[in-house]
Structure 1
Amino acid sequence: MQSLTFRLLEVFQSIVDHGSITAASSALSLSQPTVSLQLKKLSGIVGMPLFEQTYGQLKMTEAGEAVYQCAQEVLGSQSRLESQVHALKGVEIGTLKLAVVTTAKYVVPPILSPFCKQHPNIEVRFIVGNRADIIDRMRHNRDDVYIFSQPPQDDNLVCTPFLQNKLVVIAPPDYDGPDNCDLKALMDHKFLLREYGSGTRRAIQDYCDSKGLVFPNSMIIESNEAIRLAVTSGLGLAILSEHTLAHTPPDSVKVLKVKDFPLVNHWQAVTVKHRQISLAAQAFQKALLNVE
């Protein structure tokens, strides 16, 4: 096998991370023909196709998965070395790759803001996606730190809780039904719920299973913002994180007093055991633990 180069690995990693040759060429400030040529050269060195087309999208082959893992290890080691050398010189640099589930987009920016001011030379790459998207990124080891309210159960993960996540029952502002009650008393109302698989839905489902409760009249909405707006317009009741309501006018929804609520769990910072933690990621994890 001919020698791999940092540049070839960097181009390949960028294609995977950005999802297309076009997006990678823009991110790397290279022409599309140049990126395509680099990919062809790398495929020739490996001697096997690295991508296949699936419904018009690039998907890594098994050989591509192996090359991607190699790219992460090699380029990650190079980045850590650069960071450590600069740290020895008293200069802090590095890249923090951070991926969070959608609800956490209300939680992370207020933490990132002071972190970026304190560490101005650290480049932050901030990805927001649904639970399935973030789990997929984690399985491919694409990021340094992942933020979940309900991390997947996996012995290869290190989960560190850092901030309470409180789920409350909300109603339209003109709601005049039961209050100061238990959740069972509200079951005649329509509930607007997140899709199965979301962290919020999993927490609600676990609670309902423990109480033998079933929502007889529900609507699935795959967005916290859409649920909040639907509640405001009178479509039904919902159970959402307080963080989702943080920037909502106080009179747009009514928070009900329901027994056992708020349901309390914790946001968790998740890392993959076999991925070496960069200095930038270590600094961010320390910042998370200082959040109150």
Structure 2
Amino acid sequence: MNYTLHQLQIFLKIAELQSITKASEELYLTQPAVSIQLKNFQDQFPIPLTEVIGRKLYITEFGKEIAQAAEKIITEVYAINYKTLSYQGQLSGRLKISIVSTGKYVMPYFLSGFTKENPGVELNIDVTNKARVIESLEQNEVDFALVSVLPEKLKVNYVELMQNRLLYVANNENIRKNNKRDLFEKNPLIYREQGSATRNAMESFIFKNKFSVQKKIELTSNEAVKQAVISGLGCSIMPLIGIKNELKNNDLRIIPIKGLPIITTWNLVWLQSKKLSPAATAYLEFIDAKKKDIIKTQFSWINNY
């Protein structure tokens, strides 16, 4: 057998996602490249690792055992790399963070300085929906999670990063506006998917004001909602953090409404029972020392709205 570490990494990702397409996206490889590596890897075994039923790919029992072995091998390789860096006096290890989709406008700014100071730390960020973020935290799959609403059923520690402001936004064409109620009842409203913290805040505001929404559109990402509003498909309540350029370019405008903005807080959370790695501990120290400077340097524009 002559399989490579690269092939092990690709097969492990395929086994995790049970999809060549999804694996290629996460690995930033083309689908044909992933398919070729999978074939080359499978050809080295007399027993199938995968099988296709209909159009869906499944991992065989033997394939699952190989995936488990691959994970152990890759972990040991990482350990060798980390130990080498440690002997050279560098902080090393992996930092795994799961963040809700709108958190992608926030989290990179709180990480870039740390990774520049510590090039031996490997960064793994999963941008997903709130439900998956909480699940990964609960399953101890990550070191930290970034959420705007603290999980109720988990015992967590947390650090507040910065405010999250939600405002009513529309495109720059005329919208039907007679009063506050008309903005919600006479214009199509664009919602995030069920379980989204942004959607929950929006629905709470609508319920509190006893509005009767007639036209509702549901989309599954903040970017999709933003583009829909720009196109004139409807209006929405959106995080200010994600529309900086659109406001600057006059693609979107904020409609002042009494009771808005809704203000929540971005929190970096971790399980109370979590034994933090040296890299994770160093990152918390970095946040404590640099948080105010990062907010002042990168997010002072928010105070203009």
For 1:171-210, what per-residue CA distance to the aligned partner results, in whole angstroms no more than 9, with x for missing partners?
120225438x646654221111111211100111222333
The residue type equivalent to 2:192 in the other structure is: R
Change (3 A) 1:208 1:195: same
Change (3 A) 1:33 1:208: same
2: CA distance, partners of 1:120 / 1:145: 19
The residue type equivalent to 2:137 in the other structure is: M
The residue type equivalent to 1:247 in the other structure is: N
2: CA distance, partners of 1:165 / 1:119: 28
User: 1:136: Cα distance to partner?
Assistant: 3.1
The count of aligned residue pairs is 275
Please give the residue correspondences for 1:171-190 in structure 2 after superposition, counting only pairs within 5 Å: 171-178=170-177, 182=180, 186-190=184-188
Change (3 A) 1:20 1:196: closer
The residue type equivalent to 2:278 in the other structure is: L
The residue type equivalent to 1:228 in the other structure is: K
- Aligned equivalent of 1:42: none
Given that 1:149 and 1:266 are in contact with CA atoms closer than 8 Å, whether structure 2 keeps it comes out as: yes
Q: Does residue 93 of the first structure (1) align with residue 85 of the second (2)?
A: no
Change (3 A) 1:156 1:139: same
1: CA distance, partners of 2:270 / 2:11: 23
User: 1:169: Cα distance to partner?
Assistant: 0.5
Unmatched 5+ stretches in structure 1: 1-9, 38-52
Unmatched 5+ stretches in structure 2: 1-8, 30-36, 44-52, 296-305
Q: TM-score scaled to structure 2, two decimals?
A: 0.68
Alignment partner of 2:215 out of 209, 214, 217: 217
Please give the residue correspondences for 1:250-289 in structure 2 after superposition, counting only pairs within 5 Å: 250=248, 251-289=250-288
- Aligned equivalent of 1:228: 226
> Which secondary structure does the structure 2 equivalent of 1:117 belong to?
helix
Q: Does residue 136 of the first structure (1) align with residue 122 of the second (2)?
A: no
The residue type equivalent to 2:231 in the other structure is: S
Q: TM-score scaled to structure 1, two decimals?
A: 0.71
User: 1:279: Cα distance to partner?
Assistant: 2.0
Alignment partner of 1:237 out of 214, 235, 238: 235
- Aligned equivalent of 2:4: none
Identity %: 24
Change (3 A) 1:18 1:218: closer
Given that 1:111 and 1:287 are in contact with CA atoms closer than 8 Å, whether structure 2 keeps it comes out as: no
Q: Does residue 198 of the first structure (1) align with residue 200 of the second (2)?
A: no
Please give the residue correspondences for 1:20-99 in structure 2 after superposition, counting only pairs within 5 Å: 56=56, 90-99=89-98
2: CA distance, partners of 1:153 / 1:127: 21
The residue type equivalent to 1:133 in the other structure is: R
The residue type equivalent to 2:140 in the other structure is: N
Given that 1:21 and 1:35 are in contact with CA atoms closer than 8 Å, whether structure 2 keeps it comes out as: no
For 1:107-153, what per-residue CA distance to the aligned partner results, in whole angstroms no more than 9, with x for missing partners?
11222222221221111011111223323323332111111122431
For 1:38-97, what per-residue CA distance to the aligned partner results, in whole angstroms no more than 9, with x for missing partners?
xxxxxxxxxxxxxxx9x94669x9xx9xxx8xx99xx99998999699668632111111
